[in-house]
Structure 1
Amino acid sequence: MRRVFLVLLVCGLLSLSGCVWGPEVPPPELEARLKVFTNEGSLMVTLDGSESVIPFPDATSITYLFGDGTEFEDAPITVTHEYEEPGCYTATLILKEDHPAKRGYRQDSDSVQFCLRLYSGEILLRWWISGSASGKGTEFLGNELVTFDAEATLHTAGLPLTFRWDIVGANVDYYHVSQDPVFSILLPCPPHTCNQPCPEPYEFEVKLQVWDSEGQRVSDSAVIRVRNPAC
């Protein structure tokens, strides 16, 4: 009986001193995870560390290094920053945890490299589609010469432009790339024989992409229909 009492007394003293039986379950590791969001043609950037693993937020400080010689200490988990010049930068998120009662001092960081560009002007996209017999529109006759015309497209700074046309549909998967803004093509005609119902018109998706020598890119698309001229 006396031995049992001594064992219980020792266990009680160990509990009061902060010791427990069995292994302590450690908290998750501190882990910095950084995402950077940029906008084309802008020097404003969003840095987002919200996916980081931060076991003790109240004991963790957040610092952002923007890569341009500036930093933000005691920052919120998501910040925006405007750079003064275009170029390539490396942004860094630093997490510092100081929690003596749990794990002591821990630190982790994550970095992302990105590039920012400003354009000399903008691309004003203007285009249309016309048929040799049907004129401008979106419905044409089979075996009619169809012209895709973006000659009215211009660059406000006068930079040269490249045009890419993609035409997909009715077993056609065609693209055309050129600095010439106009090209023509014969699209297939839906088959039709006498005493048979007229077939449904073929549908084609037409996508136009235009880019300049600085890498600025714009696009647009349309759907056209091609029917059998006998219908």
Structure 2
Amino acid sequence: MNRFYIEKKNVDKQQNVAVITDRDELKHLTKVLRLEVGDHIEVCDGEGTDYLGEIASVGQDEVGLTLLEGLPSREMPVKVDLYQGVPKGQKWDYLLQKSVECGVHSIVPVQMKRSVAKISDEKSSKKQGRWQKIADEAAKQSKRSIKPLVKESVSFSEALTMMGDYDLVLVAYENERLNSLNKISDLVGDASKIAIWIGPEGGIADEEIDRLKEFAQVISLGKRILRTESAAMVLLSQISYIVE
């Protein structure tokens, strides 16, 4: 069934009605799919609530809906934020897309010592809009109940200051020998908010891993070395398997 995002302010739960006003969504609904009054669609407020709706009216500036019923959320019961060492070029676009499909809650690009791509503060704000659009499209395709937020890039030191907000911090590190993927279930436990760290193409530098070990659980993703754009998907999939 076709799925559309609506703003939460455009939902009236008491009257069981809503309106779609986003120009891109309107164009897709009316011009591309050519949906009409009486057709059923899925709608999501992007903040965790999904509905089955019936098109009640089609106008130039909005589409009116009757909300028929609520739908189960498609989100993991655990919020997992990805702190990703910035890779270069199309790897980043691919990583954004697949991480959203795998259930990430938010993505924080981190400028690390071995990051090949360097993003200035000025470029970061410009790129963030494009990154968010990629994430939004992936969220819609995979029928996510939220729109995962892609934040502006931060330095390694800035990212470290954010770790106090988490119940668990996991760092994927190719040189780890004690904790492997089969230990993740024990580590996750009752955590409700998890941060995962993935290094850039060149990996996590020695001084960075030493800093992370002060408060994080360092794990191996297996005997084989994964590309940076693959590692997040493996770790997110493992967490999803455990909690869902």
TM-score norm. by structure 1 comes to 0.24
- Structure 1 or 2, whichever has the larger Rg, is 1
More helix by share: 2
Ranked by relative contact order (alpha carbons within 8 Å, sequence separation 6 or more), the top structure is 2
